[in-house]
Amino acid sequence: MRALLGRIVSSLVLIAAVGVTALPAAEEGRSDPGAQARLTPLLARRGTDAAPFTGSDGRVHLLWEVPLQNATTLELAVTGVDVLGDGVKIRSLSKSEIAGSIEVVGTRRAGAEIGPGQAAFLFLTLAFDDAAQLPQRLDHRLTVTADRLPQPMTTSGGAVRVARDAVVPLLGPPLEAATGYLAADGCCTSVRHIRAGLPIDNREWFAQRFAIDWTQLNEAGAFVAGDPSVPRNYAIYGRRALAAADGRVVSVQDGLEDQAPGQLPGTSLPLDQVDGNAVVIDIGDGLFTLYAHLQKGSIRVAPGDTVRRGETIALVGNSGNSSSPHLHFHVMDGPSPLGSNGRPYLIDSFRVVGRAVSTAEIDRVETSDEAVAALPVRGDPGRAKQLPLDLSIVAFD
């Protein structure tokens, strides 16, 4: 078998040497039945629909991923990525952007190289000043090189529909009224949630695509005051998590102790405990909300209960796969926190009061009484029907 594969690859390289290049069409497969066969060492599969939504910067955002497959025994380097909107190039990624946008499945490490037979995802985001600028369809042109390819070769494909008709729910705040709430690891350029694909039931799911880890700054601008190993010393700890919409409780997990802040428990936790004490609520239109890492014994609802927007669900804790107290909140298209896909949503009213300078800065001071480096935003009159973007510091009134 190994010898046979070697002969196949040698034949592919020979075909490339005589001038066969990439698929010219945006669709997967041939668009013209009479067209000459073209070699595409890197396959770009059809991606999931991208639903547009308005972020707290006032712009309309799209977020999506494209499945890739190295169909050869060569080490492929991706050297070019163009995004096409309705057949017109609307973005070209720089070399550093390419290296930061591709992850081989199972590695959680970004890089432009895709090894022999490896699968990967290309993670992309775009922002538009106005919804009228949105294309109906996104396609991708990817160029690769390899030591045994005599020339760069380009694949066109990975079609994505811009789902203007998708339901983007309008929610209330998931936390009680207060200020200093920081939206950590949120949309659209952070990677921990957006790229957290999970192989569940023979499919890759991105349930956390639009998740936010809500934490809170105290009056000193820090997450914690006092001993950082004690969960109750964190500003967010014990805050009331609220029903963001009317709905029906479909699942509850309780009984797990808070983790000691400072590090993630990692693989020591069973898969069904990574969310810690958690609540899932059906909010209609095939969508569900997840509240995770709640305090043991604080959950006030049970499966089958009907909840109203603004009702207290539980108290924020530090259970499950959590390194410090926070509320993990996201919207998904199924009742499973793992085997579903994340969906965008909007919060009907909040104020932006600042912006943390970086995720690295948040990580640096996460379990200390040192203030987070942040840029203040003064005089914000309030936001309506927007999604707080990553690093935003907001007030829920």
pLDDT of 9 over the 80 cut: no
Contact 295, 328 (CB under 8 A): no
Distance CA 171, CA 232 (A): 28
Distance CA 331, CA 333 (A): 7
**Helix and strand numbers, DSSP H then E, in the chain:** 3, 26
Residue ranges of the alpha helices (H) in 81-149? 95-101
| pLDDT category of residue 36 using cuts at 50, 70 and 90 | confident
Neighbours of 137 (CB within 10 A): 14
Residue with tokens 């190994």: 2
Supply the pLDDT for residue 10: 37
| pLDDT category of residue 38 using cuts at 50, 70 and 90 | confident
Closest by CA to 327, choosing from 267, 244, 248, is: 244
Distance CA 246, CA 24 (A): 49
Give me the domains of the chain, ranges plus CATH numbers.
Answer: 39-161 (2.60.40), 170-396 (2.70.70.10)
Helix (H, G, I), strand (E, B) or coil at 87: coil
pTM for this entry: 0.90
Supply the pLDDT for residue 5: 33
Average pLDDT over residues 192-198: 95
Q: How does pLDDT run across 130-151, given as a tens digit for each residue?
A: 999 999 999 999 999 999 898 9
Closest by CA to 189, choosing from 394, 390, 397, 364, is: 390
| pLDDT category of residue 30 using cuts at 50, 70 and 90 | low
pLDDT of 24 over the 70 cut: no
Q: Which helix (H) or strand (E) holds 13?
A: helix 2-17
Average pLDDT over residues 84-102: 98
Q: How many CA atoms lie within 13 A of 218 on its CB side?
A: 17
Supply the pLDDT for residue 54: 98
pLDDT of 98 over the 80 cut: yes
Contact 353, 392 (CB under 8 A): no
pLDDT of 18 over the 50 cut: no
Supply the pLDDT for residue 22: 33
Beta strands in 25-169 (DSSP E): 42-44, 53-54, 60-70, 76-85, 88-92, 102-104, 113-114, 119-128, 137-145, 153-161
